[in-house]
Structure 1
Amino acid sequence: MVRLLRPIVAAVAVMLAGTWHPACAASPPEQRNDGWAVATPETAGFDPAALQALAEDIPRGGYGNIHAVLVEHDGRLVFERYFQGSDESWGQQLGTVRFGPDHLHDLRSVTKSVTTLLLGVALGGGYDQALDAPVTSYFPDIEGRFGEGADQVKLRHVLTMTAGLQWNEMSVPYTNPDNDEVRMSGVHDPVALVLGRPVQEPPGTRWSYNGGLTQVVAGLIERRTGKKLRAYADEVLFAPLGIVTYEWRGARKWGVGGPPSAASGLRLRPRDLAKIGSLALNDGVWQGRQVVPAEWIALIRQRAVETIPWVPDGTYGYGFMWYSGRLKDGSDLEVFGASGNGQQRLYVVPARRVAVTVLAGMYNQRSKGEVERLFRQVLAAQQVVR
């Protein structure tokens, strides 16, 4: 049975947990009964000494407040390390935590990318037709409350955050009640709020970060499947991946039976988040089972938006609520993945058959590229591609 842990219980469990003691970098991660196969770094061409040096450097603060680093190669975990640092649970301070594989951790906006995987399953195919349909056509129950021009917004625009709706999330911090995502948490019907906003520029012309659009995706999933988002996630994603312990929080105004926050509310254990990265790496397959359609994985990794203001050097653009790009280090490696406040990261590198999971506690801080540098160090440690 899925356990949706209450915040206070999760906080107490975190504070009471002991230190997890990893093996040296040359050893494989611990074999646990969670579906993960494990292997030594050498089998993936990694230099154990380079990974060990990285693991020793992280607690010195060179990469900021890092909590966990996991590396998959071709379906097997080959590196897994946990660290100590301050943390939060959706804004609730937890103090200093000694992390281990059983700790739940905020994903923040990585939740958006998980929600998009659910959409791919719910749509079930015929993606071009679904993507080019007006998003308002999926919500006949709120017809009459749409903002001016909302019928011009296609589902494709929603997923690429080019909807053009009036929304203020990029210039106002999340600590400010004028932030529109914060404002959304104070209404009873978040989907109606988002689609009730007028279109202020032609859809498809400009990328503008909008967490409310993910709540629209969640509403679409519920209407298409006839199931609550959590129940549907349990059935088609979490159960196939063996994810049984998680928390998916939502705004109080949305009620006990209301939707969770599809934009930022999900909390997973590190190895379970790494399974999401594994799905992206392995064309939607986990342990031989097609969990998410391969066609949908191919769509989400496409670079639909070439440049975004958060990455001025153009390394990353945007796909379907996943970031997509190529490394500008001479390798031209394709990288796509997910990103969340606090520097939560999933990096997927198909050519290297590698997925890197990073959890951190740098919430509401301007990124200085700490986790990106950490990721580059992991790649640099892989000397032989197999």
Structure 2
Amino acid sequence: MNLSELSSALEPINLRSCLITQNDRMLFEHYRNSSIPAEIAKINSCTKSILSALICIAMDLEIIPGPHTKVTEFFPQLLADSDPRKREITLEHLLTMTSGIDWTEFGGQKSFPRMTRSDDWVDFVLKQPMEGSPGTRMEYSSGVSQLLSAILVQRSGMSTARFAEEHLFSPLGIVDYKWEADPQGIHTGGYGLRLRPADMLSFGQLYLQQGRWGQRHLISSTRVIRSVQPSILVSSPNSCFYGWHWWTESVSSEMNEAIASSSSSNSFDYYYARGYAGQFIYNIPSLDIVVVLTDDKRKKDRHPSNVFRELIAPLLLRNLK
């Protein structure tokens, strides 16, 4: 696969890093400067997909029960809530962000910043009113991610970070990281993890290999496949789906002018972890490709392009001809 055009296309965007592998072989590697490969940096909401992996591992180990388990098993105080719909929320509803809890992450009621200013984040989320019935609508929420992190702590008897070290980070060779925590010491489920770009790449490769790393299955293939399956339609800038804290989309040569110029009718499905300010891990199973993008510029300084869909995807499609 020839990606020689990519360097010039990325030059005006000035990304922090761009890594692309195929069949676990590096095809393209770009860093803004030579110090970046060794530096950990915020991956923002890509943390959610890491948390999803930890929940899957805990389910495999039977530390956490299956996805259809009611969350009242972990938060019995919900049994006394005046809204009976809270008693119907399951682990899968949390993973797909379809809990029905009334939440506006940043706009409107600004649920996320209000949570982070509270003394007890988990209690704050549990006390929010219901907006609808569980399972009917996806509402992006770092609050439900915090509930999942708290459940992992409750059932594993260790911190989320410690669980990650034992069951995910150490096997992947991730030794340098930082992870923020709430006032109760529960590591942030929705953001707050810092990793190197190469560590993000390893995590993506693990999922591309359906949970296998070397001779071990760190996550069962059944859980990996289920977690990245489209679960609910989301109205975002592009019509896409959401899985278990993963986004899923398709791209084809008919979707926009940049891709149409490839003169190819090919298409592919992909799933990805997405973090604020340009942090991404894209997996394209049909091509055995992982793409990692990171950035660190302020919003007003960031290039408006959707780098993957407008630059990388058309190039991949041209190579499929």
TM-score, normalised to structure 1's length? 0.73
2:242 alignment partner, one of 315, 318, 323: 318
Answering whether residue 281 of structure 2 is matched by residue 346 of structure 1, we say yes
Distance apart, 1:134 and its partner CA: 1.4
2:6 alignment partner, one of 37, 54, 73: 54
Residue equivalent to 2:24: 75
Distance apart, 1:219 and its partner CA: 0.7
Distance (Å, rounded) in 2 between the aligned partners of 1:335 and 1:147: 41
The change in CA–CA distance for 1:317 and 1:144 in structure 2 (over 3 A counts) is: closer
The correspondence of residues 210-289 of structure 1 with structure 2, limited to 5 A, is 210-251=141-182, 254=183, 258-289=185-216
Distance apart, 1:77 and its partner CA: 2.6
Residue equivalent to 1:37: none
Secondary structure of the equivalent of 1:167?
coil
Q: In the TM superposition, what whole-angstrom CA distance separates every residue of 1:15-65 from its partner, at most 9, and x where no partner exists?
A: xxxxxxxxxxxxxxxxxxxxxxxxxxxxxxx11xxx233113322x2xx34
Distance (Å, rounded) in 1 between the aligned partners of 2:275 and 2:296: 11
Aligned 8 A contact 2:121 2:146 in 1: yes
Q: In the TM superposition, what whole-angstrom CA distance separates every residue of 1:154-197 from its partner, at most 9, and x where no partner exists?
A: 1111111111101121524xxxxx52111111223211211221
Answering whether residue 43 of structure 2 is matched by residue 107 of structure 1, we say yes
The correspondence of residues 132-147 of structure 1 with structure 2, limited to 5 A, is 132-140=68-76, 142=77, 146=81
Aligned 8 A contact 2:101 2:129 in 1: yes
The change in CA–CA distance for 1:291 and 1:128 in structure 2 (over 3 A counts) is: closer
Q: In the TM superposition, what whole-angstrom CA distance separates every residue of 1:294-338 from its partner, at most 9, and x where no partner exists?
A: 1111111110013x12134x3x21111101122232423120111
Residue identity in the other structure for 1:375:
I
Distance (Å, rounded) in 2 between the aligned partners of 1:159 and 1:81: 33
Distance apart, 1:260 and its partner CA: 2.0
Residue identity in the other structure for 1:338:
A
Residue equivalent to 1:358: 293
Aligned 8 A contact 2:270 2:282 in 1: yes
Distance (Å, rounded) in 1 between the aligned partners of 2:82 and 2:299: 31
Answering whether residue 86 of structure 2 is matched by residue 160 of structure 1, we say no
Q: In the TM superposition, what whole-angstrom CA distance separates every residue of 1:201-227 from its partner, at most 9, and x where no partner exists?
A: 111111111110100110111111111
Distance (Å, rounded) in 1 between the aligned partners of 2:305 and 2:28: 25
Residue identity in the other structure for 1:204:
G
Answering whether residue 87 of structure 2 is matched by residue 189 of structure 1, we say no
Distance (Å, rounded) in 1 between the aligned partners of 2:251 and 2:128: 37
The correspondence of residues 4-83 of structure 1 with structure 2, limited to 5 A, is 46-47=1-2, 51-59=3-11, 61=12, 64-83=13-32
Residue identity in the other structure for 2:6:
L
Unaligned runs of 5+ in 1: 1-45, 85-97, 173-177
Task: Supply the RMSD in Å over aligned alpha carbons.
Answer: 2.5
Distance apart, 1:200 and its partner CA: 1.7
The change in CA–CA distance for 1:127 and 1:348 in structure 2 (over 3 A counts) is: farther
Aligned 8 A contact 1:146 1:195 in 2: no
Distance (Å, rounded) in 2 between the aligned partners of 1:181 and 1:147: 23
Distance apart, 1:232 and its partner CA: 0.6
Residue identity in the other structure for 1:284:
G
Residue identity in the other structure for 1:337:
Y
The correspondence of residues 374-385 of structure 1 with structure 2, limited to 5 A, is 374-380=311-317, 382-383=319-320
Distance apart, 1:69 and its partner CA: 0.8
Aligned length: 307
Distance apart, 1:287 and its partner CA: 2.2
Distance apart, 1:377 and its partner CA: 4.3
Answering whether residue 116 of structure 2 is matched by residue 179 of structure 1, we say no
The change in CA–CA distance for 1:129 and 1:230 in structure 2 (over 3 A counts) is: closer
Aligned 8 A contact 1:146 1:192 in 2: no
1:124 alignment partner, one of 47, 60, 69: 60
Distance apart, 1:339 and its partner CA: 0.5
Over 3 Å off, 4+ runs:
125-129, 142-147, 362-368, 380-384
Distance (Å, rounded) in 1 between the aligned partners of 2:20 and 2:159: 32
TM-score, normalised to structure 2's length? 0.87
Secondary structure of the equivalent of 2:200?
helix
